[in-house]
Amino acid sequence: MTELSTSPASDLCEPTIKGRSLWHDARRRFLQNHAAVVSLVVLIVIALIAAFGPYLAAWDNETIDWAVLGDISTMGAPSISSGHYFGTDELGRDMYARVIQGTQVSLLVGLIGSAIAVVLGTLYGATSGYIGGRTDNIMMRVVDILMSVPYMFVLILLLVVFGRSMWLLFIGVGMISWLEMARIVRGQTLTLKSKEYVEAALAIGVKHHTIVLRHIIPNLLGVIVIYATLLVPQMILTESFISFLGLGVQEPNTSWGALISQGASTLQYGTYWQLIFPLSFFVVTLFCFFFIGDGLRDALDPKDR
C-alpha cells in the first residue's frame, strides 16, 4: 500500500490568508450600518444638487419675475411650466435658485468652519498633551477661560464690528469652535504619549514636533473624523441662527437660515413653499451628518457600542 507523499510544491498552492487592516474592518462595520450608508448617499445627492443644481435653474437667484407678481391667483406657487420649481419669494425671485445658493453657502460654512476648528484644536490639544507639566496646565486654563466666554456673543460682536462679511462668518465660526476639539485631543494624547512607539522614537532622537505630527496625530484620526462629522452640523446650526437674526449672509446672497427666516415671516400669507423647501434641505442635511457621525463612531470604536 503506497502512501501519498506531500511535496513543498503542494504547500505553495494552498491559499494564503490575507490580513485586514483596522481601516478595512472599520469600513466593513460602517457599511453594515444601513442608516449611516443611506445618510451618506443622501448627503452626496445634496452635495451634487448644490454643485450642479444651478445649471438646471431656469432663473437666477436675483432676477424678479414680474409676471408672477402680477398674478394674484397663484402668488408665486411652485410651477414647472413657469420654471419656478420651488415657487418664488415675496419679491418674485426664484426659490429654487435661492435654495441652491443657500445650500452652497451653508455647506461651505459647515465644512470650512469645521476644518478650521479641527486643525486648530488638533494641533493645540496634541501639543498641550504631549508637552505636559506646567505648560499643559497653562494651555488648558486658557481653553477653560475661552470656553467660559459666550461664543455666540463673540461671533455677533465680530460681525457687527468688522462688517457682515461671508468670509468673516466662515473664519469666526471656526475660530471659536476649536476649544472642545482641543480638550478631546489633549486627553487622547496623554494616553498615546506613553506608548512604546513614542518611547522608541524618542530613543532614536526623533524631534518632538515630528513625533506629534507623525506618531500622535495619525493615531487620533478616528477620534478626529468622528468629531468632525458631528461638528459640521453644529457649524451649520450656528450660521443658520446668525442668519435667522439677520446678522449673517446678506443680500443678494442667502443661506438656509436667511431663507427659513423669510419663509417664517411670510407663512401667514399662505406661501408655505418659502419655508418648506429650505427647511427640508436643512433638516435632512443635519440628520444625515448625525447618522454618519454615529456610524463612524460605531465603526472606528466598536467597544463603545
Which of 268, 249, 305 shows the shortest CA–CA distance to 109?
Answer: 249
- Max intra-chain CA distance, the chain: 103
Cα–Cα distance, 284 to 232 (Å, whole number): 13
Q: 151-185, pLDDT tens digit by residue? A: 777 778 877 777 777 777 777 777 777 888 889 89
Cα–Cα distance, 21 to 55 (Å, whole number): 42
Q: Residue 43's Cα: distance from chain center in Å?
A: 11
Q: 117-148, pLDDT tens digit by residue? A: 889 999 999 998 888 889 889 999 998 888 88
Cα–Cα distance, 291 to 294 (Å, whole number): 5
Q: How far is CA 144 from CA 113, 114, 156, 227, 292, in A?
A: 21, 20, 21, 19, 29
pLDDT confidence of residue 1: 46
Asked whether the predicted pLDDT for residue 38 surpasses 90, the reply is: yes
Q: What is the pTM of this model?
A: 0.79
Query: Cβ(216)–Cβ(193) under 8 Å?
Result: yes
pLDDT confidence of residue 281: 92
Which of 157, 159, 156, 291 shows the shortest CA–CA distance to 232?
Answer: 291
